[in-house]
Amino acid sequence: MVLKAFFPTCCVSADSGLLVGRWVPEHSSAVVLAVLHFPFIPVQVKQLLAQVRQASQVGVAVLGTWCHCRQEPEESLGRFLEGLGAVFPHEPWLQLCRERGGTFWSCEVTHQQAPAAPSAPGEDQVMLIFYDQRQVLLSQLHPPTVLPDRQAGATPASTGGLAAVFDTVARSEVLFRSDRFDEGPVRLSHWQSEGVEASILAELARRASGPVCLLLASLLSLVSAVGACRVFKLWPLSFVGSKLSTCEQLRHRLEHLTLIFSMRKAENSAQLMRKVNMLASVLLDVALGLTLLSWLHGRSRIGHLADALVPVADHVAEELQHLLQWLMGAPAGLKMNRALDQVLGRFFLYHIHLWISYIHLMSPFVEHILWHVGLSACLGLTVALSLLSDIIALLTFHIYCFYVYGARWGAALGRPWAWGPADARRAGPSPQLFIGTLLFTILLFLLPTTALYYLVFTLLRLLVVAVQGLIHLLVDLINSLPLYSLGLRLCRPYRLAAGVKFRVLQHEAGRPLRLLMQINPLPYSRVMHTYRLPSCGCHPKDSWGALCRKLFFGELIYPWRQRGDKQD
């Protein structure tokens, strides 16, 4: 198998020394983590490596020597470097050499024992793969490979070679803690040797997060305690609370906030990402809500809206009355049953009259109501949108009533279809049969009239459902968008890795093959799919097919959630 030497790009210009890293025998790869410079005391080096092995559970060892000098190494240096192989025994022993200021790289591999199946001499080859240590350390492979074995040096053979490389670098953070300004016994070269990376803001945030989380968690537990108290479990409030989408959205947000400010630390990176995504979603929500609030309250827009509301309602009522007049006549040339037509038409006209009176009653209070509803936008745009959706449902309640009447009537007429001639034959000739047949015939001839009314009101209902659906779609989008992950993918693409890609560097005859390994970032669609937040179940449950089926058979389409329909 070709021997692969993973070499960090930060050590390419480092001075001569020892190669410190991990050897993965299953994939025949040597992952170089750092370069240890001369002068050193072998005992101290061995102590340091033992400490690192203990702390990180990675089988770190001295893999070979690194020589960075002006021209071909001199005899004495060559002998010295080979002698080191006896001090730090490792199988196989790597000897990397680079000419200063040139592109001459050479690599030798020495085996202490002859291998079990000796291939022809000169068959073994070495490949040098350069990797950016910082990017590989910070990145996260998707799908994440679970490595259950955490003993020193043990990697299950089923994981790919690259996952092992990423895992090795990620777990060896202990090795990268010291930089060249430290007064330690050994001098290492790695990605942090010019100075350990740290951010004042991150440190301050970490210190402050403890007490802030405690305070907010206690506040939130108070709010949930109030929400869970006995009063809300009584019948009218609990019924209303479970039907309104605003209450559902508020509950959802409360859950999110409780999770964000909980005192438990995130166990793995997926949970941490989820927490940060939730926080970003809440912040976006509140920001958009405050923008809406400032827009609404500026330049007396609420007044304009309130003034426009009542005429619009009047206009809608008038149009509905015209529609009913048209149905009571001969709609589209169809001949309707006069009596039933008049009854149904008058019944629905009376309903509209009631609704218009109710709107006119409410008209002085509309502006105040809108003002207070606008205030709810500071809790978040999603809350304001849910409130809007609930108001639409309440205002178009009359259409819902018409639709329900039409559906129930249609179902009542449909039932005789089930009790048909077959049952009559089984029952035998009887007075019940005569009455049943008569009823059936009458209802059959009344069906077109009721079907027409049902059709018209169902279309209106569908319009309202469509508008509500759009609003809920928008709410869902804001709820489930993983903003932090998308931002990370945009600004730091190496953090979310779908894989790696290789580029062949300039190759000369007789030299080892050199490759540059770069991170292949995750595509945006996979970022959305992996990190999207679970949405609450306020949107219409039915898919389009189920909706059509319900419409055809006259089942009711409820404007709110049904009990037992809760989506995780």
Partner 1 sequence: MVTRLPEAGLERAGRLGPAIAVERRAVRCGRPSGGVMEDERSFSDICGGRLALQRRYYSPSCREFCLSCPRLSLRSLTAVTCTVWLAAYGLFTLCENSMILSAAIFITLLGLLGYLHFVKIDQETLLIIDSLGIQMTSSYASGKESTTFIEMDKVKDIVINEAIYMQKVIYYLCILLKDPVEPHGISQVVPVFQSAKPRLDCLIEVYRSCQEILAHQKATSTSP
> Are residues 533 and 479 in contact, defined by beta-carbon separation less than 8 angstroms?
yes
> Are residues 32 and 184 in contact, defined by beta-carbon separation less than 8 angstroms?
no
DSSP labels for 509-542?
A: TTSPEEEEEEEEEPPHHHHHHHHPPPPPTTS---
Give the separation between CA 376 and CA 422, rounded to whole angstroms: 60
Say if strands 60-69 and 17-24 run parallel, antiparallel, or are unpaired.
antiparallel
Q: Which span sits near partner 1 by CB under 8 A: 23-31, 290-298, 373-381, 395-403?
A: 23-31
Give the nearest distance from C-beta 127 to partner 1 in angstroms.
Answer: 7
Between 30 and 69, how does the x/- string for binding to partner 1 read (CB under 8 A)?
A: ----------------------------------------
Q: Which span sits near partner 1 by CB under 8 A: 25-33, 272-280, 380-388, 408-416?
A: 25-33
Give the nearest distance from C-beta 60 to partner 1 in angstroms.
Answer: 22
Size of the site for partner 1 (CB under 8 A): 48
Give the nearest distance from C-beta 85 to partner 1 in angstroms.
Answer: 8
Give the nearest distance from C-beta 28 to partner 1 in angstroms.
Answer: 7
Between 360 and 379, how does the x/- string for binding to partner 1 read (CB under 8 A)?
A: --------------------
Q: Give yes or no for residue 510 binding partner 1 (CB under 8 A).
A: yes
Tokens matching residue 371: 């003002």
Q: Which residue, 74 or 182, has its beta carbon nearer to partner 1?
A: 74
Q: Give yes or no for residue 82 binding partner 1 (CB under 8 A).
A: yes
Q: Dihedral of the CA atoms 368, 372, 375, 376 (nearest 10)?
A: -150
Q: Given candidates 501, 529, 549, 566, which one binds partner 1 under the rule CB under 8 A?
A: 501
Q: Which residue, 126 or 385, has its beta carbon nearer to partner 1?
A: 126
User: For every residue of 267-336, which 3-state class applies, written as one string?
Assistant: CCHHHHHHHHHHHHHHHHHHHHHHHHHHHHHHHHHHHHHHHHHHHHHHHHHHHHHHHHHHHHCCHHHCCC
Give the nearest distance from C-beta 83 to partner 1 in angstroms.
Answer: 8
Give the separation between CA 474 and CA 288, rounded to whole angstroms: 13
Give the separation between CA 186 and CA 39, rounded to whole angstroms: 8
Give the nearest distance from C-beta 115 to partner 1 in angstroms.
Answer: 8
For 479-508, b where at least 16 C-beta lie within 10 A, e where not — what string?
bbbbbbbbebbeeeebbbbeebeeeeeeee
Q: Which residue, 126 or 276, has its beta carbon nearer to partner 1?
A: 126
Tokens matching residue 348: 């629905």
Treating both helix axes as pointing N-terminal to C-terminal, what angle do 431-480 and 245-260 enclose, rounded to 10 degrees? 40
> Are residues 3 and 109 in contact, defined by beta-carbon separation less than 8 angstroms?
yes
Q: Given candidates 322, 368, 507, 549, which one binds partner 1 under the rule CB under 8 A?
A: 507
CA–CA distances in Å: residue 306 to residues 77, 97, 367, 392: 90, 81, 5, 15
Q: Which residue, 109 or 401, has its beta carbon nearer to partner 1?
A: 109
Q: Which residue, 4 or 256, has its beta carbon nearer to partner 1?
A: 4
> Are residues 386 and 539 in contact, defined by beta-carbon separation less than 8 angstroms?
no
> Are residues 44 and 185 in contact, defined by beta-carbon separation less than 8 angstroms?
yes
Q: Given candidates 9, 28, 376, 480, which one binds partner 1 under the rule CB under 8 A?
A: 28
Q: Give yes or no for residue 524 binding partner 1 (CB under 8 A).
A: no
The footprint of partner 1 on residues 157-196 (CB under 8 A) is: 157-158, 160-162
Give the separation between CA 113 and CA 256, rounded to whole angstroms: 60
Using the 8-state DSSP alphabet, how is residue 15 labeled? P
Give the nearest distance from C-beta 560 to partner 1 in angstroms.
Answer: 41
> Are residues 27 and 162 in contact, defined by beta-carbon separation less than 8 angstroms?
no
Give the separation between CA 137 and CA 547, rounded to whole angstroms: 50
Look up tokens 């803001």; give the residue.
Answer: 201
Q: Which residue, 153 or 227, has its beta carbon nearer to partner 1?
A: 153
Q: Which span sits near partner 1 by CB under 8 A: 245-253, 390-398, 483-491, 507-515?
A: 507-515
Q: What is the rounded radius of gyration, in angstroms, for the C-alpha atoms of the chain?
A: 37
Q: Given candidates 195, 235, 509, 568, which one binds partner 1 under the rule CB under 8 A?
A: 509
Q: Which span sits near partner 1 by CB under 8 A: 125-133, 148-156, 454-462, 539-547?
A: 125-133
Give the nearest distance from C-beta 279 to partner 1 in angstroms.
Answer: 32
Look up tokens 């010291």; give the residue.
Answer: 178
> Are residues 345 and 328 in contact, defined by beta-carbon separation less than 8 angstroms?
yes
Q: Which residue, 71 or 562, has its beta carbon nearer to partner 1?
A: 71
Q: Which residue, 128 or 137, has its beta carbon nearer to partner 1?
A: 128
Q: Given candidates 508, 529, 556, 567, which one binds partner 1 under the rule CB under 8 A?
A: 508
Q: Which residue, 332 or 509, has its beta carbon nearer to partner 1?
A: 509
Residue 543 has, within 13 A of its CA and on its CB side, a CA count of 1
Between 304 and 333, how does the x/- string for binding to partner 1 read (CB under 8 A)?
A: ------------------------------
The footprint of partner 1 on residues 94-113 (CB under 8 A) is: 107-113
Q: Which span sits near partner 1 by CB under 8 A: 62-70, 81-89, 196-204, 351-359?
A: 81-89
CA–CA distances in Å: residue 137 to residues 57, 198, 248, 535: 16, 15, 41, 32
Q: Which span sits near partner 1 by CB under 8 A: 154-162, 215-223, 252-260, 291-299?
A: 154-162
Q: Given candidates 12, 26, 184, 203, which one binds partner 1 under the rule CB under 8 A?
A: 26
Residue ranges binding partner 1 (CB under 8 A): 1-2, 4, 26-28, 78-79, 82-83, 86, 107-114, 118-119, 121-127, 129, 157-158, 160-162, 499-502, 504, 507-513, 515, 520
